[in-house]
Structure 1
């Protein structure tokens, strides 16, 4: 049978997941429609309790998106004009967008060439450069658990403690991941995650959450997500935002949380199929030591841009979904060029020409994963 006769393999298959969840999902949604508490209904509070328990955090505050989670966390620390926020140059735009929205300056740091996580030596060098210049006050580090892999939080926290900096874990792609046997959620002073539909634990719309070990921070997050209100709705203590999670989205997430452990295991199984088939063909994802990935994205590195384009063409011809995360480093984006001091960040700048993401979701079969790997191998002459 020719490759063209196989059914297509989508990059993400939410329809298959929805069909699998079936009646349980409908029960949850119907319950919300019955009680009619569409904002901060009982499912929201149930979700917060269950999410905190899942990752072992003391407090969970649900919010309207992963971006809003990042913003609320920085607002709570009063980070703004004149402050420097250090973050990796190779990640999604929201990580850099939020400091700028608050008037702070994102300071871009290069990443490790194999794990794509923030480079610790580069982080120390960038902090030293900012301190010498004296124009900005170092205030925070945002570490990103990119593509499902945990960042080196022991290393990040050691640098933060030495410099007196707030740490924020951008766990948007990695809820469910673990390092040294502990789920992400309390590795930093605060952890922000996203429930965008494509995430390992995704809603049917936008959603997010904040985790913290501090009761005071959690209380402040709850105030900030609801217009800065105090003990009553019309007591306004501070400038906040409208950042609440809809109850219907909480119902979806509660349903998906019931099968989340099994889906994480399935993602790991697919990653192992890819690893075995591709390890001698190209650069497969490097694992952080003593870690468990959530496998939001399985990203390989092709030898060069020409071979990456050939691989994309072969996958497309075979009806196989694929994506490039990310074609351009953040400091190379027009929106952030003015915030960057011009320091070369060669690893982040080069990744966009070689990286390619393959389908990885819990409804992908073993046979489909092997077909993806075989198609990619053939495109490279293997």
Structure 2
């Protein structure tokens, strides 16, 4: 044991300060819901949808039950299904690929940039085939890829561009926020996200009125607008609860402040971490990330994690197995994707949340420098 002791641990994530910041407003909002009995839909959900659309810079937002449904229903609403293929980066949370398969389409796995671990035009070109109808750009760890280049390529080749912005509420590329670059932006509000509910929740933002109408129908059992018994398509039950909309509206007012805190913490990590031992995932030029996760690459990740745990520091891994190597999705893989595969064995997520103290962040960086072996470049 070194001088860096374990008397007070550093958790990977602590949601309590964010919860405390909105408790009074949420309690009041829930009290109003108890009086009204409007627990699904209603003014509370409509208000959050309007607030989210304004925040993202889109015309519409459609609340759904979770981020996976946001992706799945968007694909269905766009008419993507059997006979179509959709390009996805291999190093994403499984829900991205899961949604494609659930829609009836086939995923086309793409490799990523070795420094940012984000999708690129070159990787899209390598994965595209005749059946490719759409690209899902994943804003991994809270960073957006080069959306200008990807948008231009998608438009010139007739591809629909969908943003998986589950980890990037408030991130920007150029002057546009996450969700406002493609035909649709899909969000998860899982509790640990930058904008997190008190349970599962999600949303799709878009400026396409036809897509907005289709999504509202699909999330509500395929009902025709303004009707209760007229079901015009095969839909599902994926409505955003008003209980969660209260939480999300309250937290949205704090999001910019919390994202600034995340950026400051990541700047400190970059300043303190030894580049001979630790390689933070690079920033995307032209973008402004929100650092849902603080991801670095290390040698002997298992050993580093054990040593950090011995010092009371908790970490995570996002993600150890690229999707094209997972059992249900191997049949869609064409071959090796070396960048995603190598990153899967090296990525390590350090503690990151808005109320992490600077002293604790310094302690994390100093301990990582102490326990991580030198990397062979």
Relative to the length of structure 2, the TM-score reads 0.95
* Of 6-15 and 59-68, the range deviating more from structure 2: 6-15
Q: Which moved more, 1:159-168 or 1:196-205?
A: 159-168
Check if 1:357 corresponds to 2:349.
yes
Preserved CA contact (<8 Å) 2:6 2:310 = no
Out of 187, 190, 212, the position equivalent to 1:193 is 187
1:247 corresponds to which residue? 242
Deviation at 1:122, TM superposition (A): 2.0
Q: CA deviation at 1:380?
A: 2.4
Per the alignment, residue 134 of structure 1 pairs with: none
Partner of 2:13: 12
Q: Secondary structure at the match of 1:87?
A: strand
Q: Measure, in 2, the Cα distance between the counterparts of 1:98 and 1:290.
A: 29
Question: Post-superposition shift, 1:250?
Answer: 0.4
Give, in whole Å, the separation in 1 of the partners of 2:53 and 2:274: 36
* Aligned equivalents of 2:153, 2:10: Cα separation in 1: 43
Q: Report the secondary structure of 1:4's partner residue.
A: coil
Tell me if 1:264 matches 2:259.
yes
Report the aligned-residue RMSD. 1.4
Structure-2 separation of matches of 1:181 and 1:315: 39
SS at match of 1:3: coil
CA contact (8 A) 2:78 2:211 kept: no
Question: For residues 28 and 360 of structure 1, what CA distance do their matches in structure 2 show?
Answer: 29
Return the alpha-carbon distance in structure 2 between the equivalents of residues 122 and 271 of structure 1. 27
Q: How does 1:216-231 map to 2 (within 5 A)?
A: 216-230=210-224, 231=226
Partner residue of 2:329 out of 326, 332, 336? 336
Cα displacement (A) at 1:182: 2.0
Aligned-pair distance for 1:3? 3.1
* Equivalence map 1:151-190=2 (5 Å): 151-190=145-184
| Between 140-149 and 12-21, the greater mean CA deviation after superposition | 12-21
Distance in 1 (CA, whole Å) between partners of 2:29 and 2:289 is: 29
The 8 Å contact of residues 84 and 105 in structure 1, kept in 2 or not, is answered as yes
Kindly report which structure 2 residues correspond to 1:64-143, keeping only aligned pairs within 5 A, or say none: 64-127=65-128, 130-131=129-130, 137-143=131-137
Q: Residue by residue, what CA displacement relative to the aligned partner does 1:284-313 show, whole Å, maximum 9, x if unpaired?
A: 1211112211111110011x3x2x222101
Seen in structure 2, the aligned counterparts of structure 1 residues 194 and 335 have a Cα distance that, compared at 3 Å, is same
Superposition deviation, residue 381 in structure 1: 5.9
* Larger CA deviation: 45-54 vs 28-37: 28-37
Pair 1:202 & 2:203 matched = no
Which ranges of structure 1 fall in alignment gaps of 5 or more residues? 132-136
Alignment correspondent of 1:275: 270
Q: Can you list the C-alpha shifts for 1:56-92, whole angstroms capped at 9, x where unaligned?
A: 1111111111100001110012211111111101100
Query: What CA distance in whole angstroms lies between the structure 2 residues aligned with 1:331 and 1:5?
Result: 39
| Contact 1:28 1:255 survives alignment (8 Å) | no
Confirm or deny that 1:313 pairs with 2:306.
yes
Q: Determine the C-alpha separation between the residues in 2 that align with 1:124 and 1:160.
A: 10
Q: Report the TM-score, using the length of structure 1 for normalisation.
A: 0.94
Secondary structure of 2:267's aligned partner: helix
Greater displacement, 192-201 / 33-42? 33-42
Distance change (3 Å), C-alpha of 1:313 and 1:258: same
1:159: how far off? 1.9
What's the offset of the Cα at 1:55?
1.4
Which range moves more in the overlay, 280-289 or 213-222? 280-289
Give, in angstroms, the shift of residue 275 of structure 1: 0.8
CA–CA distance in structure 2, aligned partners of residues 234 and 40 of structure 1: 17
Is the 1:124–1:159 contact (alpha carbons within 8 Å) kept by the matching residues of 2? no
Indicate the SS of the match to 2:217. helix
Query: Whole-Å Cα distance in 1 between the matches of residues 33 and 229 of structure 2?
Result: 26
Query: What residue in structure 1 maps to residue 285 of structure 2?
Result: 289
